[in-house]
């Protein structure tokens, strides 16, 4: 909830039998004035928000419970405003503050040391590193022994590379897949399972309140990006064997319809009342629509590359991956420009044009009914009550309904999908690893620079701030920037140098939709989850990691059985 402070009801500081809740601390304020003063507080992530008032009686010590997920901005008011300060309270700590006329702005001090709420993360990392070492050590030893016994290591390497690049020699379906692609997809889906189940209740494993970027915010755009990359690889081979373009588009339409149907089925799980509140948009729906649009554009205009391409472009050969696809880029950029124009030019009743904020307490409460600006207005107009129902924002308080997978956000994610398609074209068009990686990194730099200029390299400011809730252009470009970097690293380590086979993520990447639907259907059920006696970061993180690990083993079992569930 937005309420940054609340009156202390149980004395956590003096009574050791009373336990703190997760992400709470104790804050005692001694008012040495001979009159009451008003304390104002707000979470620092609440951009351009007014402080919440709290009366401090004269000459008394007032004890408050404060949240610790975000740092807090504080000041108190007598005749004037005094001592504006921002402080990061730590979990289960006890803090004090003395305010008086003699010393207008004293320091906040620690009465009782907090716990290290990040210790469970460090412990989990160490455990997984140990398990990884136990898993890969025998393989490394055997590989070393094999190399020592072989009189010609170069020959061994060539044979291994030939086996990896000749899928017809191996009968397993999984052997015909590109390992780096499945690994990227597996990282995304396992991260999605982890954060959807709670992410240890850490703020950086939760979606950002409205502005900014967290680890959880990367999941959906990364999945859309690699979906585009996969399309390039699979459909190019279909075109090479003379499948008609109309047939490919028809297959893409069927896949999109199936994804929409599955998305609606998942939405029905969360519909507690009636059909009147049934949510129509969703993650799978967003992926389905953006995938179909990009797939249709690409299938209609794609060219099958030939050896004549190098001669055709001459000195512009270095740009042939773009010049060969200028029509697709023209359409995608037109869609992106249309989205931007609607965002900044569409009149919204009683709201400023181009508003991108959450409403609620944002902008000092002046635009409380403007949640999501043009995007929110369109979704509420089209879907009515058939959209995301949560109206309580952890930072900005009560907001209007706004769907993070709504019409405008789906329109925005199209650029991410097509950037993934273009990454796949680079993979197919250029045969040298250095050429591929240089281009991926160059695209990453371009996306990052443009995004930085749009948001002024800041969390809140700039022409277009970074916002996952809005799928803003700066957000789309930033997440695509990281996607290019991550895939370049995976391609180098897995496909080129073969330092790593992608395990355990590669197994999850072979059945991502099955794992996604499975984890939604079983969320909160034993043995994936169980009730806890006391909620803490340790108990939540342990359960969330266990859930993710179980689904990882499920993916490995499907791999052993050579089961690949494709849609």
Helix (H) / strand (E) element for 194: namely helix 179-196
Distance of CA 550 to the CA centre of its chain: 21
Between the CA of residue 235 and those of 53, 196, 245, 510, what are the distances in Å? 60, 31, 9, 17
Q: Are 362 and 49 in contact, with CB atoms under 8 Å apart?
A: yes
Question: Cα torsion at 355, 361, 365, 370 (round to 10°)?
Answer: 30
Q: Are 529 and 484 in contact, with CB atoms under 8 Å apart?
A: no
Three-class secondary structure of residue 292 per DSSP: helix
Read out DSSP for 52-79?
Answer: EEEEE-TT-EEEEEEE-SS-EEEEEESS
Residues 6+ apart with CB under 8 A from 344: 353, 354, 374
What secondary structure letter does DSSP report for 110? E
Question: Cα torsion at 487, 492, 493, 498 (round to 10°)?
Answer: 130
Question: Cα torsion at 404, 409, 413, 414 (round to 10°)?
Answer: 150
Residue positions annotated with a catalytic role: 207
Question: Cα torsion at 516, 520, 521, 527 (round to 10°)?
Answer: 100
Peptide linkage before 504 cis (omega within 30 of 0): yes
φ, ψ of residue 477 to 5 degrees: the values are -70, -35
Question: Counting Cβ atoms within 10 Å, is residue 85 exposed (0-12), middle (13-18) or buried (19+)?
Answer: middle
Between the CA of residue 284 and those of 50, 247, 260, 264, 479, what are the distances in Å? 37, 23, 6, 8, 19
φ, ψ of residue 268 to 5 degrees: the values are -65, -20
Q: Are 356 and 470 in contact, with CB atoms under 8 Å apart?
A: yes
Between the CA of residue 362 and those of 2, 49, 254, 355, 371, what are the distances in Å? 12, 5, 42, 11, 10
What secondary structure letter does DSSP report for 504? T
């Amino acid at each position: 909830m937005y309420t940054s402070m609340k009156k202390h009801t149980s004395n956590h500081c003096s009574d050791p039998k009373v336990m703190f809740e997760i992400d709470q601390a104790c804050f005692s304020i001694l008012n040495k004035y001979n009159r009451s003063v008003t304390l104002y507080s707000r979470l620092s992530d609440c951009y351009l928000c007014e402080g919440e008032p709290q009366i401090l009686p004269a000459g008394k010590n007032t004890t408050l419970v404060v949240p610790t997920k975000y740092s807090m901005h504080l000041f108190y008011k007598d005749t004037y405003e005094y001592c504006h300060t921002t402080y990061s309270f730590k979990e289960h700590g006890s803090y004090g503050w003395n305010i008086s006329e003699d010393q207008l702005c004293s320091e906040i001090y620690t009465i009782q040391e907090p716990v290290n709420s990040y210790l469970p993360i460090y412990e989990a990392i160490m455990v997984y590193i140990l398990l990884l070492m136990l898993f890969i050590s025998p393989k490394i030893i055997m590989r070393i022994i094999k190399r020592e016994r072989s009189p010609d290591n170069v020959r061994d390497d060539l044979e291994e590379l030939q086996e990896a690049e000749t899928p017809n020699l191996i009968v397993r379906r999984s052997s015909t897949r590109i390992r780096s692609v499945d690994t990227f997809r597996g990282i995304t889906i396992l991260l999605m399972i982890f954060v959807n189940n709670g992410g240890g209740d850490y703020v950086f494993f939760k979606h950002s309140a409205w502005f900014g970027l967290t680890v959880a915010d990367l999941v959906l755009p990364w999945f859309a990006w690699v979906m585009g990359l996969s399309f390039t690889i699979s459909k190019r081979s279909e075109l090479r064997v003379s499948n008609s373009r109309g047939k490919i588009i028809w297959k893409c339409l069927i896949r999109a319809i199936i994804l929409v149907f599955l998305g609606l089925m998942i939405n029905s799980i969360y519909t507690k009342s009636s059909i009147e509140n049934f949510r129509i948009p969703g993650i799978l729906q967003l992926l389905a629509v953006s995938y179909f649009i990009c797939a249709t554009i690409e299938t209609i205009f794609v060219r099958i590359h030939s050896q004549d391409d190098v001669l055709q472009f001459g000195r512009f050969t270095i740009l042939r991956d773009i010049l060969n696809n200028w029509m697709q880029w023209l359409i995608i950029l037109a869609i992106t420009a249309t989205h931007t124009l609607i965002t900044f030019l569409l009149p919204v009743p009683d709201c400023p044009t181009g508003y991108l904020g959450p409403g609620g307490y944002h902008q000092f409460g002046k635009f409380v009914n403007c949640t999501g600006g043009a995007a929110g207005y369109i979704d509420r107009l089209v879907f009515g009550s058939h959209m995301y129902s949560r109206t309580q924002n952890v930072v900005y308080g009560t907001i209007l309904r706004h769907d993070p997978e709504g019409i405008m956000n789906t329109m925005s994610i199209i650029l991410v999908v097509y950037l993934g398609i273009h990454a796949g074209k680079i993979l197919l068009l250029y045969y040298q690893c250095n050429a591929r990686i240089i281009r991926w990194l160059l695209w990453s730099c371009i996306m990052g620079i443009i995004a930085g200029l749009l948001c002024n390299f800041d969390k809140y400011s700039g022409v277009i701030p970074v916002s996952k809730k809005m799928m803003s252009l700066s957000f789309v470009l930033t997440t695509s920037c990281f996607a290019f970097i991550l895939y370049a690293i995976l391609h180098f380590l897995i496909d080129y140098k073969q330092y790593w086979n992608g395990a355990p993520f590669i197994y999850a990447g072979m059945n991502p939709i099955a794992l996604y639907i499975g984890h939604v259907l079983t969320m909160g059920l034993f043995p994936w989850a169980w009730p806890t006696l006391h909620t803490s970061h340790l108990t939540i993180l342990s359960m969330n990691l266990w859930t993710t690990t179980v689904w990882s083993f499920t993916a490995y079992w499907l791999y052993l059985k050579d089961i690949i569930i494709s849609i």
